[in-house]
Chain A
Amino acid sequence: MHVRIRDGVTLDLLPTKKFKTIGIKVDFVAPLQATAITARALLAQVLETSTAEYPTQTALARQLSRLYGASFGISVVKLGTKHVIRLTCSVVDEQYLEQYQDTMPLFERGMALLQAVLFAPLLPNGNFDPTTFTQQRQNLLTAIKSLDDDKQYLANRRLQELLFTGQPAQAMSALGDVTTLGELTANDILATYHEMLAHDAVHVAVIGNVSEKRVTTALAAWPLAERLEPTTEPYYRWTARSQVQAGDDEAPVVQAKLNLAYQLPIYRSDADFLPAVVFNAAFGGTPLSLLFTNVREKASLAYYASSDYNPFTGALTVQTGIQAQNQERVIAIVTEQLQALQAGKLSAELLAEVKASLLNARLASLDSPQRQLTGALNSGLTHLQEPLTHWQEKLAQVTVADVQRVAQQVSLQATYCLHGKETGDANETRV
């Protein structure tokens, strides 16, 4: 059920008795701007740490324990042309507890906690507590740097930077960049906080055994003013390059990470969206895919070889973990698979299998409270509220020709390889 609470504030309520918990998600959605990403990431980190009522991590952690291990967190997400600050809280449905003596149910307690976090943060003297601010800025800094220890992540970051050269907001991670972070002050974060509360579009979603009345009553206590409805679409549209950007770095890795980026200019609201999803599943999105079968199973060149399609940015990426000296062979095999799909070479069996797999994944997502809550935002941003049966019918109708039409729009934009020193046989470099 989709409700407009007031201008710029919506609620999706997903009532169900199948879960033991009630899940709450609140998204604050702003236009994606390179200058604001880092400040918003730091704001999320600071808000997550404490509130006026629970002024230390310990006090906040104890409150969460008191609420029977309520999970609570704030994350940041990039979605096309939007930047999302996402608060989540999940509480146990108290009917499953041995004894629950509090007069206020856990859902209302959870909503009260989110309200405290959002509207009554720790602001001694009208600004964020300096100690908390400095510490969380440092924590975010080390967190961003530590992410590079994950070499698959690092290779993907470098690929994004290469793909979106000169487009800083798209090139940047959702956590921002370390240079900007080092210069941010508590005043900057305070301004970002007020901006977020006043102007961001707000999407609330709740899933579990809870009535609309309880949700709207709890929400009515939140001082959320009406705000302008966003007018820009969530899709990032960009011009493809004629020249492929190639990059590589040497790092002390045993296994090389070879990643490729393509443009696939089909977006979530487009008529060809579902064929694009099917294309990706056949190309590299599933273990049945051409990439998995040919790079891994047939050529034994990789443990992982897969593709990802982002219907908000129109980017398609391929990631593989290989031996550096096999780079050209792997690129050749990946290219062959794409060319096969562009030539309409997709067996009826594989098409049927990837469709079955997509249907399975869609139905399975209905068993996950988190995925249902996340899905609510996608529908909110794209204004697509499609019944499952309708989606199923459209999926069934996707043909080889549809997939071929999509594949023909795919163009290689960037290649990136993170590899070790070139010493010949990689086995000899093992320690």
Chain B
Amino acid sequence: MLTKHAYSRLGETVYQTTLENGLKVILIPKADFHKTFAVMTTNYGAIDNEFVPRGQQQAVRFPDGIAHFLEHKLFEKEDHDAFDLFGQYGASANAFTSFTQTSYLFSTTNHVRENLDILLDFVQEPYFTAATVNKEKGIIGQEIQMYDDDPGWQSYFGMIGQLYPREPLHIDIAGTVESIAQITADDLYAAYQTFYHPSNMSLVIVGQLEPETVLAWITANQARKTFGPNEPIQRVASPQTPAAEIVPQTTRHLTVTRPKVSIGLRGYDEVPAGRAGLHYSAAVSLALDLLFNDTGDYYLRLYDANIIDDSFGYDFQVQRGAHFAQLAGDTDHPETFVSELTAILDDAAAQLVAAQEQFDLVKREAIGRLIGAINSVEAIANQYDGPLFGGTTIFDELTILEQLTFADVQQALAAFLAASQRTVYTILP
């Protein structure tokens, strides 16, 4: 049975249900759209590298990059590649691995049912052999090296590595050439059996679709397969870097035209569970807008003094088990960049009050941008964060944003900053 939630002002409706096997299904029809976009996600990503494999007793530490490797290998089957099956219908397919999730997706303008079966089947019918696993090592090795040559990527992950030196978050999502060399087909099966049970997964479909019909297709597909019982997943809790151990500053030399500076703030406060977590996330993001976006008074001063330029940006991320903010940009004056921005952070509560008259503006902007994102079926689907924020959608996020008050923003920022730890990662030419 689909439960239906209408957002009447937006003219959007979300249908959802959980199948008997535990798979969460979220269906969002978009009238007049040609595209249907589907994304199937497991709550398993790069940081989940130590766990008790399903059916075993002992925790095992797996090679770094295994979740991403598994993502690559799931496409290849004994006698075909899932890419080619999608290709028969002209659909485009892809997949990506983040710290905490792995997602498989397709986009099509026809043959939705056929493509949906291909997606469900290739994700739910693994096939790994020593030969196919070894072949992939060359491709992923090149992928890792491509990112080695990307200074923006190096700056971002360098900063994260500084904030989480003991946690698996400091490891490249794809692993290293050395770590992936150790991955075996058995490792992939162990990870697969543990994390790809339907009860650990969601399927979000947005675009041209009729909810009841699509649900019937999914149910029919799932009825053809048998899954083991839904057992709890036992991840080994990652070690936690004590705040005092976080290195405040690191400088590295790379071939870049200008210095790149990334200031990271790791939150040590507890992010509320479920929908309240999205409220917290939206409130901190809005606080950062007030402190750092281009409507602020300080912005023009730093811009005119050539401390920041159009490359300056910031963001706030909440993931399973970790949340952090980043302020980053290219600058010819890295030391002043750091001292000016940290001065604002040090005085954040007062700075926020000083910016209060911009609150309405900044909130309007965030609302408008989010409404604009509803034009995109991909944005709607990707905004769904599953269990992290209690199954909320982009439409719930809009409601939360509309209701946010200045006091909410003050409170959330204070909670985040009070227990936060900072680092600066600088890349110099």
A residues with a Cβ closer than 8 A to B are: 16-21, 56-58, 61-62, 64-71, 90-92, 96-98, 131, 135, 138-139, 142-143, 145-146, 148-151, 251-255, 286-288, 296-297, 300-304, 321-323, 349, 352-353, 355-361, 363-364, 366-369, 426-427, 430
Report yes or no: B109 in contact with A151, Cβ–Cβ below 8 A: no
Report yes or no: B366 in contact with A427, Cβ–Cβ below 8 A: no
Report yes or no: A356 in contact with B90, Cβ–Cβ below 8 A: yes
A94 to B43 alpha-carbon distance, docked (Å): 37
Nearest 9 pairs between A and B by C-beta? A356-B90, A69-B368, A68-B368, A300-B138, A69-B365, A18-B32, A360-B90, A363-B109, A303-B142
Q: Which residues of A contact B96 (CB under 8 A)?
A: none
Which of A18, A68, A303, A364 has a CB less than 8 Å from the CB of B30?
A: A18
Q: Which residues of A contact B83 (CB under 8 A)?
A: 287-288
Q: Which residues of A contact B368 (CB under 8 A)?
A: 67-70, 91-92
Given that A61-B295, A300-B135, A430-B177 are contacting pairs, would A288 and B364 also be in contact in the complex, using a CB cutoff of 8 Å? no
Q: Which residues of A contact B299 (CB under 8 A)?
A: 57-58, 61
Which of B33, B138, B365 has a CB less than 8 Å from the CB of A64?
A: B365
Report yes or no: A426 in contact with B255, Cβ–Cβ below 8 A: no
Tell whether B213 is near chain A: CB-to-CB under 8 Å. Answer: no
Residue of B nearest to A145 (CB): B257
Q: Which residues of B contact A97 (CB under 8 A)?
A: 367, 371
Which of A56, A151, A358 has a CB less than 8 Å from the CB of B90?
A: A358
Residue of A nearest to B89 (CB): A356
Of B137, B293, B372, most buried by chain A (CB within 10 Å of CB) is B372
Q: Which residues of B contact A98 (CB under 8 A)?
A: 9, 367, 402
Residue of A nearest to B303 (CB): A57
Report yes or no: B88 in contact with A61, Cβ–Cβ below 8 A: no
Report yes or no: B330 in contact with A142, Cβ–Cβ below 8 A: yes
A90 to B369 alpha-carbon distance, docked (Å): 10
Report yes or no: B145 in contact with A68, Cβ–Cβ below 8 A: no
A146 to B135 alpha-carbon distance, docked (Å): 36
Report yes or no: B377 in contact with A367, Cβ–Cβ below 8 A: yes
Proximity string of chain B (137-162) to chain A, C-beta cutoff 8 Å, 1 when within and 0 when not = 11111110110111110000000000
A-B contact count (CB 8 A): 196
A322 to B110 alpha-carbon distance, docked (Å): 35
Report yes or no: A304 in contact with B375, Cβ–Cβ below 8 A: no
Given that A254-B145, A359-B90, A363-B35 are contacting pairs, would A142 and B257 also be in contact in the complex, using a CB cutoff of 8 Å? yes
A267 → B minimal CB distance (Å): 25
Proximity string of chain B (324-343) to chain A, C-beta cutoff 8 Å, 1 when within and 0 when not = 00000010100000000000
Proximity string of chain B (283-294) to chain A, C-beta cutoff 8 Å, 1 when within and 0 when not = 000000000011
User: What are 20 A-B interface contacts by the 8 Å CB criterion?
Assistant: A21-B371, A61-B294, A68-B371, A70-B368, A90-B372, A92-B372, A97-B367, A135-B304, A138-B306, A142-B332, A143-B310, A146-B330, A149-B152, A254-B145, A255-B145, A303-B143, A364-B107, A367-B33, A430-B145, A430-B177
Q: Which residues of B contact A358 (CB under 8 A)?
A: 90
Which of B89, B149, B372 has a CB less than 8 Å from the CB of A69?
A: B372
A204 to B362 alpha-carbon distance, docked (Å): 30
Report yes or no: B371 in contact with A149, Cβ–Cβ below 8 A: no
A430 to B9 alpha-carbon distance, docked (Å): 54
Residue of A nearest to B91 (CB): A360
Report yes or no: B377 in contact with A252, Cβ–Cβ below 8 A: no
A426 → B minimal CB distance (Å): 7
Tell whether B81 is near chain A: CB-to-CB under 8 Å. Answer: yes
Report yes or no: A360 in contact with B109, Cβ–Cβ below 8 A: yes
Of A17, A69, A358, A359, most buried by chain B (CB within 10 Å of CB) is A69
Report yes or no: A367 in contact with B146, Cβ–Cβ below 8 A: no
Report yes or no: A57 in contact with B375, Cβ–Cβ below 8 A: no
Report yes or no: A300 in contact with B139, Cβ–Cβ below 8 A: yes
Residue of B nearest to A289 (CB): B87
Tell whether B92 is near chain A: CB-to-CB under 8 Å. Answer: yes
Q: Which residues of B contact A356 (CB under 8 A)?
A: 87-90
Report yes or no: A146 in contact with B255, Cβ–Cβ below 8 A: no
Given that A65-B361, A363-B35 are contacting pairs, would A150 and B150 also be in contact in the complex, using a CB cutoff of 8 Å? yes
Report yes or no: A65 in contact with B365, Cβ–Cβ below 8 A: yes
Tell whether B84 is near chain A: CB-to-CB under 8 Å. Answer: yes
Q: Which residues of A contact B89 (CB under 8 A)?
A: 356, 360
B277 → A minimal CB distance (Å): 23
Given that A92-B372, A364-B34 are contacting pairs, would A254 and B91 also be in contact in the complex, using a CB cutoff of 8 Å? no
Proximity string of chain B (346-363) to chain A, C-beta cutoff 8 Å, 1 when within and 0 when not = 000000000000100110
Tell whether B166 is near chain A: CB-to-CB under 8 Å. Answer: no
Proximity string of chain B (276-314) to chain A, C-beta cutoff 8 Å, 1 when within and 0 when not = 000000000000000001111101100110100111000
Q: Is the interface of A mostly helix, strand, loop or mixed?
A: mixed
Residue of A nearest to B94 (CB): A287
Report yes or no: A149 in contact with B151, Cβ–Cβ below 8 A: yes
Residue of B nearest to A366 (CB): B34
Of B136, B300, B358, most buried by chain A (CB within 10 Å of CB) is B300
Residue of B nearest to A139 (CB): B309
Q: Which residues of B contact A70 (CB under 8 A)?
A: 368
Q: Which residues of A contact B364 (CB under 8 A)?
A: 65-66, 68-69
Of B295, B303, B374, most buried by chain A (CB within 10 Å of CB) is B295
A360 to B10 alpha-carbon distance, docked (Å): 27
Q: Which residues of B contact A287 (CB under 8 A)?
A: 83, 87, 92-93
Given that A355-B90, A427-B177 are contacting pairs, would A71 and B306 also be in contact in the complex, using a CB cutoff of 8 Å? no
Report yes or no: A364 in contact with B109, Cβ–Cβ below 8 A: yes
Residue of B nearest to A16 (CB): B32
Residue of A nearest to B293 (CB): A61
Which of A18, A253, A286 has a CB less than 8 Å from the CB of B33?
A: A18
Other A-B pairs, 7, CB within 8 Å; known A150-B150, A353-B84, A359-B109? A57-B303, A98-B367, A143-B310, A146-B311, A146-B330, A301-B138, A321-B146
Tell whether B31 is near chain A: CB-to-CB under 8 Å. Answer: yes
Report yes or no: B9 in contact with A149, Cβ–Cβ below 8 A: no
A58 to B303 alpha-carbon distance, docked (Å): 10
Report yes or no: B365 in contact with A254, Cβ–Cβ below 8 A: no
A89 → B minimal CB distance (Å): 12
A71 to B371 alpha-carbon distance, docked (Å): 12
Tell whether B170 is near chain A: CB-to-CB under 8 Å. Answer: no
A329 → B minimal CB distance (Å): 12
B146 → A minimal CB distance (Å): 5
Q: Which residues of B contact A21 (CB under 8 A)?
A: 371-372, 375
Q: Which residues of B contact A301 (CB under 8 A)?
A: 138, 142
Proximity string of chain B (150-190) to chain A, C-beta cutoff 8 Å, 1 when within and 0 when not = 11100000000000000000000000110000000000000
Report yes or no: B372 in contact with A65, Cβ–Cβ below 8 A: no
B406 → A minimal CB distance (Å): 15
A302 to B144 alpha-carbon distance, docked (Å): 11
Report yes or no: B148 in contact with A255, Cβ–Cβ below 8 A: yes
Report yes or no: A69 in contact with B369, Cβ–Cβ below 8 A: yes
Q: Which residues of B contact A71 (CB under 8 A)?
A: 369, 372
A16 to B30 alpha-carbon distance, docked (Å): 13
A286 to B234 alpha-carbon distance, docked (Å): 40
Given that A18-B33, A367-B35 are contacting pairs, would A360 and B367 also be in contact in the complex, using a CB cutoff of 8 Å? no
Residue of B nearest to A365 (CB): B34
Tell whether B77 is near chain A: CB-to-CB under 8 Å. Answer: no
Q: Which residues of A contact B361 (CB under 8 A)?
A: 62, 65-66
Q: Which residues of B contact A304 (CB under 8 A)?
A: 146
A364 to B108 alpha-carbon distance, docked (Å): 8
Residue of B nearest to A148 (CB): B257
Residue of B nearest to A304 (CB): B146
Report yes or no: A302 in contact with B295, Cβ–Cβ below 8 A: no
A145 to B332 alpha-carbon distance, docked (Å): 13
Report yes or no: A253 in contact with B149, Cβ–Cβ below 8 A: yes
Q: Which residues of A contact B330 (CB under 8 A)?
A: 142, 146
A142 to B312 alpha-carbon distance, docked (Å): 13
A430 to B34 alpha-carbon distance, docked (Å): 46
